[in-house]
Structure 1
Amino acid sequence: MVGTNLKAETMKLMELRSAMELEMNAIIESLCSPGGPGLSGNLLDSEGFPREDVDIMRVRANRQRLAVLRNDHKDVTEKISQNIQVLHSARLASGPSQDSGNLTSSSSSNFIATTTPSAMDVDIVSKPFALVDEITEASPAAEDGVQLGDQVVKFGDVESGDNLVQRLAAEAQRNQGRAISVVVMRQGTLVNLSVTPRAWEGRGLLGCHFRIYDGRLHH
């Protein structure tokens, strides 16, 4: 009964996280639309007066909501990770399940539900090590298909392990101007991307921010 309840709770958390990601993407799209202020652009004009071309109150509300969603998304992701580890440990202890359903997931809280929550098995298929928690419009990452909320499973030759900050930075620098194979988990589904680190008008070679699960990294 405990396992069944935990599975149901985990599925609800998955649905909540997906809803958060959709809302975050909508806010990002709104803030970064043509002529928009962006995620952190100045709301004052060159003379120090409030900009007249944007709805300042709405922008501030959207930015505040995005910050709240990012924190909540992190908490939900960590809770899902805890649940899936408990479920996986219980499965190993009890042996193969007789349920006909299947729930594929990683030990870092990523799932692919292929049936109803009441009949699930648990298997580890990947281990994301970073979360895209900020991305700039028209950046190399955005143009190459990276989205807010993507969880990085593989970035070129880099997978989970030690010294991720240094390894990711080196991989981007080493492949500047060349396509890198990137695998991300997006709303429970593995997505293969081809991302090319390159110089652009903004900072870094990608224009997105990765939150390493044990640290922070800018690109």
Structure 2
Amino acid sequence: MGILMDDNIHAPTVASGPTSGVTPPDFSKLSMPELMQQKERIEAELTALSSVLSSHGVNMNSSLTTFDGFPRDDIDIAQVRTTRVRIIHLRNDHKDVMKYLEKALHAHFAQLQNAPAGESAPNGTSAAPVALSSAVDDSTGNPGALGTPFARVNTVESASPAAEAGLKTGDLIRSFGTVHWLNHERLSKVAEAVQQNEGRPLTVKVSRKTDGATEAVEVDLQLTPRRNWGGRGLLGCHLVPL
């Protein structure tokens, strides 16, 4: 049997977060900062619960029975089942949070755009047009295509797919394919995008500050994940979340 980390095998081995066991909050009534806090909390708990499954050597789809239909004796089945249920609930909560967060962002930027230059939006944010253009990628019109950087390029291996695409150490990632700061889930979605697009180019938008420059420039790159380039991984770079 798997090692039990708690006397109660029906409970996950990590804290379930402030909303566990109680009625979940009404996300529609939360402010944008509160929604961001909920987003971060949910993503942190999802990461922790995923680690619980990984410690048993299973994922959300792994079979809990042997080939002949008997319960597996190498894992704590009760704990795995409970953890999976919690992950499903959290994923649903995350979708709700993202829905209301995008609505709140749209309303916020609409207020910024409509307010006279130099005045402040209701939350005290400057209403200068640059605030809108720097935060929203106008080329897509997608409410989720927000340009806030969410990761930094820590290292880039020479001759790697990342290096060939022009990615540089210190670049700030604004979007990676369809992944952006609202949905990257602590970079787990970046890893999924890489695995699902091996051999196919992904558009990567980065913010880059060159030596001596006072402002960063926006650069669009085409990055194609691939194997057998002479190093580890499909990209040959290391990203760290901001």
- The two structures have a TM-score, normalised by structure 2, of 0.46
**Structure whose residues are more often strand by fraction:** 1
Greater Cα radius of gyration, structure 1 or 2: 2
